[in-house]
Structure 1
Amino acid sequence: MSDLLIRNGIPLSLAFGALGLGAAVVLIRSILKASDGNEAMRSIAGAIQAGAKAYLNRQLGAVSMIAVVMFIVIGLLRDWTTAGGFVVGAGCSLIAGYIGMTIAVRANVRTAQAASVGSHPALKVAFSGGAVTGLLVVALGLLSVGGFYLTVLKVSGNPKTAIDSLIGLALGSSLVSVFARLGGGIYTKAADVGADLVGKVEQNLQEDDPRNPATVADNVGDNVGDCAGMAADVFETYAVSLIGGVLVGHLVSPESMAALSYPFVVCGISILGAVLGVLYVNLFKQSATRALLGGVGISGLFSALLLYPATRAMFPDGLTVTGATVTANALYGCILTGIVLTFASVWITNYYTSTEFGPVRRIAAASETGHGTNVIAGLAVGNHATVLPVLLICGSIWCSHEWAGLYGIAIAVVSMLSLSGIVISLDAFGPITDNAGGIAVMSGLDPAVRKVTDELDAVGNTMKAVTKGYAIASAGLAAMVLFGSYVEELKAHLPGQVFHFDLTNPKIMIGLFIGGMLPFLFTAFAMDAVGSAAGAVVHEVRRQLGLKPGILNGTETPEYGQCVDIVTKAALRQMVLPALLPLVFVVAVAAIPSLGKEALGGMLVGTIVTGLFVGISMTSAGGAWDNAKKYVEDGNHGGKGSDTHKAAVTGDTVGDPYKDTAGPAVNPMIKVVNILAILIIPILFK
């Protein structure tokens, strides 16, 4: 049994990946069979679908031109197999985002219709729409990495060649993820901020009021940012973590087939857990928060139970890692570490961003004394929210390394990311319920329908923050593995040379400072982009309301397409520079002879450390600001239209690019820096 599992671990995991795709297809069919409401609802949903599709098609064209250049450069400077991996990774990342977004924009109108029946039917439709994205991400990630590895292995007959080619796949998925996160984030937050500043603050219009010219662009943005962008982001994190586990397994135990196939087995079994979690949410009627978090719990527990016998079977005599024997129980301890860190990340982020707990309520209370105190409270919450996740990440690194060295950390990362199927289902649930509420208002449905969607949307806001916290926490662990892989690759490529990353070495310190600066520069450009585009939306909304006074009394129709066009052009134009920053800095540091590999290693560490803090702080603060606004809108501290509400809207406006543009985009940016550093070792270091 042990030999059979070791030899067939990768093909078996690919079968589980195919099962995940099949489950996604079943969910798609169930969603499309649901009622899509009346003609007015279908018309509004059609406009959202058209805007989202148009943006993604134009983004695909822009990214494809850069990808072609990268493909040629990688092929000429390294090898064409790795360049082929780059194309596979980029393509699958785009596909995951595109299909997920396509289903989400069809699930939103059906969720609005289901909300007219009750809360649980709406929850089922919205979550099923999100689960399509979640299952697609893990299934495509597993199939692309495993399928490409087996294909190259069969053609070349050399496991080292097949493993090295996976670095290209990782870079392709990471680069597309940065563009998707930035472009989608700039789009959605420029529209959202512009719509709020004029609609809510200046004109006292409610959320998604059809008289607001920016409301369609706002709803389109939810899909291209939170659905397509998040799908590409987590596909990248999932694929990179799996590749990191395979790479480290080969580096530390090159003769062990079990070490190589074990990460695939972990991911394959966890897809079964994700499917079970989806079934749990859809079958058991309970509150939205309990249902969604219960699905995560069921998925994690099921995976943990199955992975114990699988680990014992694959490592009956343990694993020899750099001369030491690691027991099966120690490896299983690393699995549990990843799962526990997932649960802990979910709980901590939920605490800091849910309306049920103190941090969000403190921000709402601070809004009573003005806009400035709201912003101060939100910034404080974001900084507080970094403490527990970072301490847990430190504990996870320490435990995993004690048990199984660098390979143990890699397995903990794979274990954590293997739960992406169910966790990302929570994230995509948010924009679907948000859009459902918008469709309900714009199509004139009973206010009771909007009440149902608002309740689900508040849960969705928390779930989005939870998944971003999860993604960034996993990025911290994954980056640690990638840095270790960078060091091991240097040793393998330059045998006989000794590498000491000594902090008294000025090259290391220069690299640390450059790497520490990069996340701040990156997020600064992202925030600038949102601010600039949002300003253009504000001017356009003011222009339309001034030119057509009948818009506000309902006798004239806003020109929704103008705002859609503004944010589309702004997102595509302004995503390029920050997305290319990590590429430029890595190549520049590595190519300068007086800096070289030591400074590049320091740069990787600096980017990981500051990127982790910046990402957690921004996403947590943004989620807390958003829900503080909703808490006030629910009738607390004066309710809608009060001065407190206006201050809460200001905080939400600041938090929007924090949580949906700059903060989450740090995650793939960290990975791009580390993967590119590994990729260029044989090119620049002789």
Structure 2
Amino acid sequence: MTNDLHPDPVADAILSYYKLIDGNENIKYVLLGAPLGLIFMFYLFVSQSTSSLICFTAFTFSVVFIGISMWMLCEILKKDAGPRAMQDIAVVIREGSEGFFVTQYGTIFKYAFLTSIGLFFMYLMRELPPQSNLNKYFGSLSLAMITSVSFFLGAICSAISGYAGIWVSVRANLRVAAASRKCYNEAIQICFRGGAFAAIINVALAIFGISTLYLGFEFYFYLMGAVNPPIEEIPILLVGFGFGASFVAMFAQLGGGIYTKAADVGADLIGKVEVGIPEDDPRNPAVVADLVGDNVGDCAGQCADLFESISAEILSAMILGGVLGEKAGLDFEQKSGFILFPLCVHTLDLVVSTIGVFFVKTKPGNPALKQDYGTLEDPLNILKRGYYVSLGLAIVGLFYICKTFFNVDKYPNAYLGFFGCSVVGVTVSFLFVIITQYYTDYQYGPVQSIAKSSMMGHATNIITGLSVGLESTGLPVIVISVAIISAYYLGEATGLRDSNQELIAGLYATAIATMGMFASGVYVLSMSGFGPIADNAGGIVEMSGEDESVRDITDRLDAVGNVTKANTKGYSVGSASLACFLLFSAYLDEVEMITGQEFKKIDIAVPEIFIGGLLGSMTVFVFSAWAIRAVGNAAEDVIKEVRRQFKEHPGILTYQEKPDYKTCVSIVNAAGLREMVKPGLLAVLAPIIVGVTFRIIGSFRGRELLGAEVLAGFLMFATSTGILMAMFFNNGGGAWDNAKKYIETGMHGGKNSDAHKASVTGDTVGDPFKDTAGPSIHILMKLLSTITLVLIPIFTGTGAAGK
């Protein structure tokens, strides 16, 4: 049983079983013996090829690390839950977060069910092109079933990853708040391991889902008696999984982002600016909705975002690996190495990042709180220590995997070039974290310049914040550009050639760079989860009336949490940029495979293609506008309600009356569900309308690939625009937020000064930028790509039944 005074039957059941099996003592035997035993038995009795053995190994590790995450969870649940005052607040946050999640995902899955039915009938009306190697194994009905089922599996896994983030956050927050009363080291470890639980579940589910589907197809080929099954085409059958993940992530991020920022804007504008009460003050009627929003937006939304990023990256890299293996004339075993390399990289990520998690602790002699605040070790340095361990181990592991998987007789040194590409990816990951920190951390000039400009008023704060956000796009774009071209050239240097002696490994090399960037993805996502848990813990401490010394600790964790959240958003943009490049390359390859016509070059001087590009950019801008306006609409309702309560119940401000928290929670709950639909439908329908429209035009003009060509322009421009917009929103919003926190440390007049009020305005403007529009654009870019991948036969006018 947990020591929580409020009923929590699921947590109680988990912890009771953990104690029954003596989990803390027996976990090491399970972790050492289970994966080796399962893999050995599979090798002896089941495995028909190296391909299936590799895939089963990844599958096994995904299951084992789900077990490790459960062990972490139990260790968190065992911790002290604090006094009743804390628990009374935490249970309201928990109920609000889980209630919104259930309602939101119920709505999302209604749309997902309808979409899966639509996919089923679309695929039922078409057949594979005659040149496809899958023709002898699948018909229209089986393809329709595969696509709709994989779509739904991707949607379910995405939902589980989001729920894992919320579930642990609303329980870890209370224990972090309680630990902050007595032990700095324990508070940091609970906070970070709460994020790590969700991160491990996230990546393990992506590996589990894709490896399960892949093994299912290999087993089917075995039953059909295939000697050398067309494994290079299996990844194409899995694109529905990526579409399902993107579909759910889009609506989850939109709904959660609208919820959290509507509550935050309403709470800040009335509480801080009009009334002059501090953040998370229990007198603010919107404070609970604000704390709930941290969970549904930053936890569930971010988990769903990175889950679909990882899924999309794995699938696109597998497609490119299959195409490369086929064109290079590699044998079955060598080809399987190129296809399954992405799964093994993410398995490596689980291992090295989990090791890094255990390095997150204070240095000896610095665990207690009863000392001067300034002597406590900076939490960011503690988190960086684990990150550097993960990066170092990732580089070593990548070298071994590259040497093993890219051992091609004709090209004995190819693995060195591919390893160089993976190092490029690791370097990009590190640089994105550093660049984002520079533009969003108040220790550096950009944020300090916004804080300084706040002394001149609200307008100068906004102007400076906009300039910082716009400027922050420069270095990341240069890094992405250098990374793509470096990886491409390193890939060509491996020497792999097709039958025409043309170099062909460049595109796949960029996929390896992307996987290198994800080689420490679990750790980065753990840092993202750290932020909302710390924020919630601070709110619980403030609302329960704890000593100022305890609030100082949670404030320090919260400030670092804002930096780690911003860093994760920067990391997400970088990974989304490279993933979209892979998806675009996979799109070109799949169009060529389906139509049997060369489809390598897109001429933007062609009017229709240029128009497609304009429509792609327009989609990003209109989507952003609708997402931001949704926050504004919902925030207006919150502001009206908070003002009403203060006016009708003046005793709230003097602690003579209690505010009505539930009304504000209900308002943002309804608004989040209502407002997410419009931009979400735009994201889903825009590429379909563009592709189908120009396919029809092309049929009249004798250009059957016009729809696919216009969509290529649409994707190129949408991706380019989306990268820049997402960086601007994320970094600009983060800079505004931390400029406010910089002033709250006592700079430029401190709290309640004119500069502080101006910084609150800037922070309020930046809130929907960094937590609604920006993160949603990451998903938008990948959703557009996965939709086009799934629906290529509709846009090309080929492969239809009866043709």
**TM-score bucket of the superposed structures, by smaller chain:** over 0.9
Amino acid of the residue matched to residue 305 of structure 1?
V
Q: Distance in 2 between matches of 1:188 and 1:318?
A: 55
Structure 2 match to 1:641: 752
| Residues 60-79 of structure 1 mapped to structure 2, 5 A cutoff | 60-78=105-123, 79=144
Offset, 1:452: 0.6
Structure 1 match to 2:496: none
| Residues 275-674 of structure 1 mapped to structure 2, 5 A cutoff | 275-282=354-361, 284=363, 286-317=377-408, 327-404=414-491, 405-497=506-598, 500-592=601-693, 593-594=696-697, 596-674=707-785
Structure 2 match to 1:273: 352
Amino acid of the residue matched to residue 715 of structure 2?
L
Q: 1:287 to 1:499 in 2, by over 3 A?
A: closer
Question: TM-score when scaled to structure 1?
Answer: 0.97
Q: Does 1:17 align with 2:62?
A: yes
Assess if the C-alpha contact under 8 Å between 1:16 and 1:269 holds in 2.
no
Q: 1:155 to 1:161 in 2, by over 3 A?
A: farther
Assess if the C-alpha contact under 8 Å between 2:441 and 2:735 holds in 1.
yes
Structure 2 match to 1:188: 260
Offset, 1:284: 4.8
Q: 1:145 to 1:109 in 2, by over 3 A?
A: same
Q: Does 1:262 align with 2:349?
A: no
Which of 152, 159, 174 is residue 246 of structure 2 equivalent to?
174
170-179 or 412-421: bigger deviation: 412-421
505-514 or 607-616: bigger deviation: 505-514
Assess if the C-alpha contact under 8 Å between 1:5 and 1:314 holds in 2.
no
310-319 or 378-387: bigger deviation: 310-319
Q: 1:596 to 1:467 in 2, by over 3 A?
A: same
Offset, 1:192: 0.3
Q: Does 1:90 align with 2:155?
A: yes
Q: Distance in 2 between matches of 1:9 and 1:656?
A: 44
Structure 1 match to 2:97: 52
Offset, 1:372: 0.6
Q: Does 1:250 align with 2:322?
A: yes
Amino acid of the residue matched to residue 41 of structure 1?
M
208-217 or 262-271: bigger deviation: 262-271
Offset, 1:318: 6.2
SS of the counterpart of 2:238? helix
Offset, 1:237: 0.4
Q: Distance in 1 between matches of 2:447 and 2:362?
A: 31
Task: Provide the alpha-carbon RMSD of the alignment.
Answer: 1.7
Assess if the C-alpha contact under 8 Å between 1:471 and 1:667 holds in 2.
yes
Which whole-Å deviations, capped at 9, do the CAs of 1:565-605 have from their partners, x for residues lacking one?
Answer: 00000000110111121221111111112251111100000
Offset, 1:275: 0.6
| Stretches of 4+ aligned residues off by more than 6 angstroms | none
SS of the counterpart of 1:444? coil
Q: Distance in 1 between matches of 2:221 and 2:154?
A: 20
Which whole-Å deviations, capped at 9, do the CAs of 1:112-147 have from their partners, x for residues lacking one?
Answer: 111111432211111111111111111111111111
Assess if the C-alpha contact under 8 Å between 1:213 and 1:560 holds in 2.
yes
Q: Distance in 1 between matches of 2:179 and 2:410?
A: 52
Q: Distance in 2 between matches of 1:499 and 1:390?
A: 24
Q: Distance in 2 between matches of 1:147 and 1:349?
A: 36
**Bigger fraction of residues in helix:** 1
Which whole-Å deviations, capped at 9, do the CAs of 1:630-678 have from their partners, x for residues lacking one?
Answer: 1111111000011110000001000100000000110011011111111
Which whole-Å deviations, capped at 9, do the CAs of 1:430-465 have from their partners, x for residues lacking one?
Answer: 011111111001111111111110111011001000
Which whole-Å deviations, capped at 9, do the CAs of 1:534-591 have from their partners, x for residues lacking one?
Answer: 1110000000111111111011111100000000000001101111212211111111
Q: Distance in 2 between matches of 1:293 and 1:41?
A: 30
Question: TM-score when scaled to structure 2?
Answer: 0.83
9-18 or 479-488: bigger deviation: 9-18
Assess if the C-alpha contact under 8 Å between 1:9 and 1:262 holds in 2.
no
Offset, 1:308: 0.9
Q: Distance in 1 between matches of 2:401 and 2:783?
A: 32
Which whole-Å deviations, capped at 9, do the CAs of 1:324-344 have from their partners, x for residues lacking one?
Answer: x98000110111111110000
Offset, 1:503: 2.2
Amino acid of the residue matched to residue 643 of structure 2?
R
SS of the counterpart of 2:272? helix
Structure 1 match to 2:368: none
Q: Distance in 2 between matches of 1:365 and 1:176?
A: 41
SS of the counterpart of 2:294? helix
Q: 1:319 to 1:614 in 2, by over 3 A?
A: farther
Q: Distance in 1 between matches of 2:531 and 2:626?
A: 26
SS of the counterpart of 1:555? coil
SS of the counterpart of 1:182? helix
Offset, 1:507: 1.6
Assess if the C-alpha contact under 8 Å between 1:190 and 1:530 holds in 2.
yes
For these two proteins, the number of residue pairs brought into alignment is 681
Which of 109, 113, 116 is residue 181 of structure 2 equivalent to?
116
Amino acid of the residue matched to residue 431 of structure 2?
A
Q: Distance in 1 between matches of 2:361 and 2:467?
A: 37
SS of the counterpart of 1:113? helix
305-314 or 160-169: bigger deviation: 160-169
Assess if the C-alpha contact under 8 Å between 1:116 and 1:449 holds in 2.
yes
Assess if the C-alpha contact under 8 Å between 1:237 and 1:417 holds in 2.
no
